[in-house]
Amino acid sequence: MTVSTAEITDGIYSRLTGDSTFNTAIGGGATTAGRLHYAIAPRDPTTPFVTYNVIGGAPIRTMADDGYELRVQFSVYGGRAAGPRAVQAVMDLLRARLDVVRFTIANHANLPALEQMPRGPMLDGDTDDALWVMYTDYLITCYDS
């Protein structure tokens, strides 16, 4: 049985919001989710916040099994005044929850999340309300059995 993209994105949300330190770092609390948004952040968001989105995928065909890979991009945003180290601190918390871990999504156990292509902090824009942003991508491999 194949895991749907929605099940994977919901599983990622649960994995990240299950950590009180991560929630607090992005404006939540020990038991409330912070500013973690799928696909797009709300207009004029409060910083810091994180967005994530599926940016690609491809089927996998092996001699033993079939499946697919999804590439998920995470973007961590922080205000200009907070500086790039604040963005890096949130990214470090995110990576601690996702780097080379195995977790269950929709009754499919041991789905790996493997880090791919981290990119450094960059100033996004040149206005007074510019945001610091840091990106990283994860490759998630799902097999049908």
The domain that contains 49 carries what CATH number?
3.30.2000.30
User: Between β-strands 131-143 and 122-124, what pairing exists: parallel, antiparallel or unpaired?
Assistant: antiparallel
Using the predicted structure, report yes or no on whether residue 37 has a pLDDT greater than 90.
yes
Separation CA 22–CA 93 (nearest Å):
6
Separation CA 92–CA 87 (nearest Å):
9
Query: pLDDT: is 65 or 15 the higher one?
Result: 15
Query: pLDDT: is 13 or 32 the higher one?
Result: 13
pLDDT tens column, 96-143: 888 766 666 655 555 554 444 555 556 565 455 678 888 888 877 776
Separation CA 58–CA 106 (nearest Å):
20
Domain that holds residue 33: 5-143
Q: Helix (H, G, I), strand (E, B), or coil: what is residue 126? A: coil
User: What is the value of pTM for the model shown?
Assistant: 0.81
Separation CA 87–CA 55 (nearest Å):
22
Counting the structural domains of the chain, the total is 1
| Tokens (6 digits) for 36 | 């973690």
As a whole number, mean pLDDT of residues 70-82 equals: 87
